[in-house]
Amino acid sequence: MNELTFIEALRGIATDPAARGLNDDCAVLELGTETLILTHDVMVSGVHFLADADPADVAWKLVAVNLSDLASKGAQPLGVMLGFMLNQAAWNQRFIEGLSVALAAFNLPLLGGDTVSAGRDATASYGITAIGRATSLPVPSRSGAKPGDALLVTGPIGDAYAGFELVKAGASAPADLVQAYLRPRPLVEVGQRLAPHVHAMMDVSDGLLLDASRIATASGLGLEIDLGAVPFSPSCGARHLPHHEMRAAMAHIADTAEVSWAQQAITWGDDYQLLFAAPLDASLPVDAWPVGRFVAGAGLSLSFQGSKLPLPASLGFQHR
C-alpha cells in the first residue's frame, strides 16, 4: 500500500461531508452558527526542510504553511496545536524562538499540543493543526471552477525556488528571495477578501502547475495556462538575481531563454500565493494576475506566446 493507495483508502473512511473527500486544503465543519476550518501539516527533517536548517525557520514555516491553507479558504485563524519531537537542546531553543516570532507576527494563539521524547537518532518530525472559522459562506473549495472562468494568482511565482537554489549553491542571494523560501508569509487577509468572489481557491504549495491541475480535476474541467502570463519577478525570470534593485514590480518572462527556468519555477512550489478561479469580468478586491482559463473537458495544457509547450514529467511536488 503506497501513498496513493493509502490516501484512497483514507478517502473510503473519510465519508463525512466535513472531510470534503480529502480533496481540499482544509476540513470544513459546521458547528452551531459557526463553520470551523481545520488543517494539519507535518514537516519531516530531510524531506520538508534540510537537516541543517535553522530551527527558527522550520518553526516559522510550519506555522506559515498551515496558515496558508486556512488563508486559501478565507478563514480567520483562531489558533494552533503543536506536535513537537524533542531534539538537541540548542535545536529546541531555536525552534521555540522561531515559533514565538511567527505566532507573534501572525497574532496567532498557541492553544496546546504534545511534546514527545524520542531517541537522539530519531527522525525529527513536527506537526501543527491550525483551527479557523469561516468568514464567508460557502467556504471556497477546489471544485467550484466553471467553464470560461479565469485562473488567477495573487503574486509572484518562483521567488522561493530562486531563494532555495541560491542558498543550496552557497551563493549570496537577495534577502527577500531567501525569505520567500525560508519564511513565507501566508496571505490570510487576502484570502478573506477574495473568498466571497471566487468559484474555487487553494494555495500554491506544491507548484503552480500541479496545484492548478488539482482545481481543474476537482472541478471536472480542462485548463489552459499561458506561461507568458505568469507573474515572475524580473530578477527571478532572467536569473539576474543580484539585480535586486531592478525588481520594482512583477513582470512576465519575455523570451524563450527564460522559459526553461520558468518551467522549473512553476513546478517547484512553496510560493504560498493564492490560486483561484473567478469569472473573467469579476471585480476583485485585491491585485491578481490571470494566468489561465478553464474550459470544458479535461487535462492541462501549457503555452507560451501562442505556442504549445510540452508538460513537464512532474507537475510539482507530490509527496507532502
- Check if the beta carbon of residue 184 is closer than 8 Å to that of residue 273: no
Of the CA atoms within 13 Å of residue 281, those in its CB half-sphere come to 0
- Which of 26-34, 155-163, 182-190, 214-222 is the region at the interface with a copy of itself (rule: CB under 8 A)? 26-34
Grid coordinates belonging to 146: 466553471
Q: Is the peptide bond before 138 cis (omega within 30 degrees of 0)?
A: yes
Q: How far is the CB of 217 from a copy of itself (least distance, A)?
A: 18
| CB closer to a copy of itself out of 256 and 318 | 318
Give the footprint of a copy of itself on residues 123-152 (CB under 8 A): 123, 125, 127, 129, 131, 133
Phi, psi at 166, each rounded to 5°: -70, -45
Name which of 13 and 248 has its Cβ closer to a copy of itself: 13
109 is an interface residue for a copy of itself by CB under 8 A? yes
**And the C-alpha cell for 143?**
471544485
- Give the separation between CA 99 and CA 94, rounded to whole angstroms: 9
Position 298 contacts a copy of itself (CB under 8 A) = no
167 binds a copy of itself (CB under 8 A): no
Contacts (CB under 8 A) with a copy of itself, residues 66-85: 78-79, 81-85
With CB under 8 A as the contact rule, the residue among 50, 53, 54, 110 that binds a copy of itself is 110
For the window 2-21, what string marks contact with a copy of itself as x by the rule CB under 8 A? xx--xx-xx-xxxxx-xxx-
For position 50 contacting a copy of itself by CB under 8 A, the verdict is no
Any contact of residue 51 with a copy of itself (CB under 8 A)? no
Q: For residues 78 and 259, which CB has a smaller minimum distance to a copy of itself in the complex?
A: 78
Measure the CA–CA gap between 198 and 63, rounded to whole angstroms: 25
Buried b / exposed e across 12-21, counting CB within 10 Å, b at 16+?
A: eebeeeebbe
CB of 37 to a copy of itself, least distance (A): 10
Give yes or no for residue 53 binding a copy of itself (CB under 8 A). no
- Our CA angle for 272, 267, 280, nearest 5°, is 65
- Max Cα distance, the chain (Å): 57
